[in-house]
Amino acid sequence: MPKKKAPQEGAKKVDSSNVMGLRPEVLEQPITETLELNYMPYAMSVIVSRAIPEIDGFKPSHRKLLYTMYQMHLLGGARTKSANVVGATMKLNPHGDAAIYDTMVRLSRGYGALLHPLVDSKGNFGKVYSRDMAWAASRYTEARLDGICAELFRDIDQDTVDFVDNYDGSMTEPSLLPTAFPNVLVSANQGIAVGMASNLCGFNLGEVCDAAVAYLKDPGTDLLEVLKAPDFPTGGELLYDEKVLREIYRTGRGSFQVRARWRYLKGENLIEITEIPYTTTVEAIMDKVAELVKAGKVREIADMRDETDLNGLKVTIDLKRGSDPDKLMARLFKSTPLQDSFACNFNILIAGMPRVMGVGEILEEWTAWRMDGVRRRTYFAMKKKQEKLHLLKGLKKILLDIDRAIAIIRETEEDAEVVPNLMIGFGIDQVQAEYVADIKLRNINKEYILKRIEETSRLEEEIADLQDIVNSPARIRKIIIAELEAIKKKYAVPRRTQIIYEHQVLDEPDPEEEIADYPVHLFLSREGYLKKITPQSLRMSSEQKYKEGDGPSQQWEANNRDELLVFTDKQQCYKTRLADFDDSKASVLGDYLPTRLGMDPGESVVWACVTADYSGHILFFFENGKAARVELSAYQTQTRRRKLTGAYSDKSPLAAAWLLREDMEMAVYSTEGRVVVFHTASLNPKSTRSTQGVNVMTLKPKYKVETARPLAQTPIQNPARYRARSLPVAGMLLREEDRAEKQLTLLE
């Protein structure tokens, strides 16, 4: 900073009279000089000492609070009143109790602003997703350090970081915390300084550790492959845009979209919002929705209320009859904070200078800083061992003549001369002589001394190993990698923010697009031809036309708004709306589904079902005797995704499939002529589409399951004969009276 200048030539002196007649002089100063001398120091103080985080991921206020709690033995200890922590922190942070407590609240588990909270809290700490939910005063709440803080303070007492004086010079504090993982990427942080700001989003701890390990092994690795996307403690859904994220990872600037997570309860005709974007609050969302309803821009909502309780966030929207939840949510995403953008600005202090960096640069800086910390820690341990080795070498010389050492001590008249006489008598230095002189009389025996000296060779090996680590960056990287892998194993949790890729994003519906609502009849042939016929057309002509060699396979009564799920012999499911098919007649072949749905070459239809709400289950029966009960909702997506792979198990060919609306008895037929009758309630539903199911029928090697049908649709007269007490069973041979086969004759 330039020195304060004398009044410039031409500067005016203004006289100002007061009521007592005194005339003090007032010196006019150029505004540029005032800014330079008075405002710039303040601006730099805000940037460096308050608002911008450093490479350990903390601002000074965070660091001072956590270090105070560490000094209070709150890591692994019992909780104490938050007021005690606030008061103790003022020895390092003199900005007032309110500011300190606000800092503690943001770091707490109760508030929920961090993916991995650093303060284990008890009591009301408010919620990050609520604007109006205030936290209790510090005298009511309790706190201690969370377990993960052990990784923030690892080896802090082994010279891993520098210590500096506090504001009044009465004690010291760490300039940085020796975080054993890249906390700067894990803990979300934001701050507004003078002329600049910082806004860091959080990332999943497991993915960050994997990314750091990958970077340590290969600095040129593609981080986006490992560090998939940001993660937020409030969950929600992140709309994945690879180009945008790559730019953020490269430059540290950019923004991406996050939206709320919701579900529709058909029976109650309401929408439940359970997770919202990190950047907004429940109150802001409800205010905006209420504004849209009052303005008449949203007419589908009957009521909206906040049902947040101890179980977590929940906003409920009651719908009017006939409202489409997908269309409503698409409109709300566009018009309310239910979908919001997060603007990234990865501005971090590096050696006291603010720098905007991409993820790769941040990992580079953190790696260099962490390697220096591990090197300092290793050097500290090596020096301790060298000091001990030095003492033992002096003890080894005493071993040569213990009696002489005793004689020197006994013959020395003054206590102050004992150490100098030992130094002269054995040729050792003062430190070694002090060590020998302080040995207890009971320890002056060969056994004790020999045991101490045996440590010499071990210490020399350990010192040589530590020296090698200090001089070997490759070994230091291996140590850091091992620590990161251990941290991931111990503390990593699954992602909270779901990644929604481009093909999963639901396009905003056209308000003018309305699907006609009317009943239809569907007919599917064995070769995959589908016809959609209205009841009026079917009454005029009900005789179905099929291709030569083809015939009927399935038929349904449905609604034009329903969806069709088509399963193929390659374990894939193709989804489409019935409204996408034109109304046809019984006299035409219909639409060829493999072509219409864009199936793979050689792929053919094996089964299909129609649904309006994805309620119920699908029963898959496989030729190997297994049956799987899969929830139909497992095939539901929030997007217009048309193709699902892994629609059912590929371990055995599919023998039959049925859409189950309610539990019933099923009859399973084998090629041996055996039948098993069982109740579907004995099969547990699965949400995994490709489940192999459970055995229901035991088969001999050359036989397989032929088909399966509801018992009510079979000619079986005596079902008790075939009922299974437990599964699996071999079944009973089908009797003649249960076949009900009719003799077929050719008509001339």
Mean pLDDT, rounded, for 553-573: 91
Q: How confident is the model at residue 10 (pLDDT cuts 50, 70, 90)?
A: very low
Residue predicted with more confidence, 456 or 121: 121
pLDDT of residue 149: 95
Domain 261-337 has CATH 3.30.420.40: no
Q: Which of 70, 101, 111, 140 is catalytic?
A: 140
> Which residues face 10 on adjacent strands?
none
Mean pLDDT, rounded, for 151-173: 93
Task: Give the tokens for residue 394.
Answer: 């002096």
Q: Is the pLDDT of residue 746 over 50?
A: no
DSSP 535: H
- Closest by CA position to 82, among listed 61, 98, 64, 63: 98
Task: Give the tokens for residue 301.
Answer: 């909502």
Per the CB < 8 A criterion, the answer to whether 103 and 64 are in contact is no
Range with the lowest mean pLDDT among 32-36, 508-512, 623-627, 704-708? 508-512
Range with the lowest mean pLDDT among 79-83, 96-100, 696-700, 744-748? 744-748
Residue predicted with more confidence, 504 or 223: 223
Q: Is the pLDDT of residue 18 over 80?
A: no
In this structure, are strands 498-500 and 237-239 parallel, antiparallel, or unpaired?
parallel
Rounded to the nearest 10°, the torsion over CA 496, 497, 498, 499 is -140
pLDDT over 70, % of the chain: 93
Range with the lowest mean pLDDT among 28-42, 119-133, 156-170? 28-42
Q: Where are the alpha helices (DSSP H) in 632-705?
A: none
- Closest by CA position to 271, among listed 340, 217, 319, 331: 319
Phi, psi of 589 (to 5 degrees): -75, -30
**According to CATH, what is the number of the domain 519-738?**
2.120.10.90
Encode pLDDT of 640-669 as tens digits.
Answer: 678 888 999 999 999 999 999 899 999 999
Mean pLDDT, rounded, for 593-598: 90
Q: Is the pLDDT of residue 744 over 50?
A: no
> Which residues face 200 on adjacent strands?
189
pLDDT of residue 21: 52
Concatenated DSSP letters of 204-256: -HHHHHHHHHHHHH-TTS-HHHHS-S---TT--EEE--HHHHHHHHHHSEEEE
pLDDT of residue 33: 80
Q: Whole-prediction pTM value?
A: 0.65
Q: How confident is the model at residue 349 (pLDDT cuts 50, 70, 90)?
A: very high
Q: Is the pLDDT of residue 258 over 90?
A: yes
Per the CB < 8 A criterion, the answer to whether 664 and 680 are in contact is yes
Mean pLDDT, rounded, for 294-313: 87
Q: Which residues contact 187 (CB under 8 A, 6 or more apart)?
A: 57, 58, 114, 115, 116, 118, 200, 202
d(CA 184, CA 200): 8
Range with the lowest mean pLDDT among 27-36, 172-181, 299-308, 710-719? 27-36
Q: How confident is the model at residue 5 (pLDDT cuts 50, 70, 90)?
A: very low
Task: Give the tokens for residue 426.
Answer: 């054995």
d(CA 46, CA 281): 28
Encode pLDDT of 605-616 as tens digits.
Answer: 999 999 988 889
d(CA 58, CA 179): 10
Q: Which residues in 560-686 belong to E strands, given as ranges?
A: 563-568, 572-577, 591-592, 605-611, 617-622, 626-631, 643-645, 654-660, 665-670, 674-679
Q: How confident is the model at residue 573 (pLDDT cuts 50, 70, 90)?
A: very high
d(CA 114, CA 201): 10
d(CA 584, CA 533): 5
Domain boundaries, the chain: 52-179, 261-337, 372-491, 519-738
d(CA 205, CA 82): 27
pLDDT of residue 505: 64
Q: How confident is the model at residue 415 (pLDDT cuts 50, 70, 90)?
A: confident
21, 230, 722 from 644: Cα distances, Å? 92, 26, 37
372-491 CATH pick, 1.10.268.10, 2.60.120.560, 1.10.540.10, 3.40.50.720: 1.10.268.10
Range with the lowest mean pLDDT among 5-9, 701-705, 711-715? 5-9
- Closest by CA position to 684, among listed 668, 663, 656, 667: 663
Encode pLDDT of 684-695 as tens digits.
Answer: 888 889 898 999
Angle, in degrees to the nearest 10, between helices 473-491 and 446-471? 100
Q: Which amino acid, residue 408?
A: I
Q: In the predicted model, what is the mean pLDDT of the chain?
A: 87
- Using DSSP, state whether 573 is helix, strand or coil: strand
Does residue 140 carry a catalytic annotation? yes
544, 645, 744 from 564: Cα distances, Å? 20, 16, 35
Q: Is the pLDDT of residue 180 over 70?
A: yes
**According to CATH, what is the number of the domain 52-179?**
3.90.199.10
Q: How confident is the model at residue 9 (pLDDT cuts 50, 70, 90)?
A: very low
d(CA 409, CA 397): 16
Q: Is the pLDDT of residue 13 over 70?
A: no
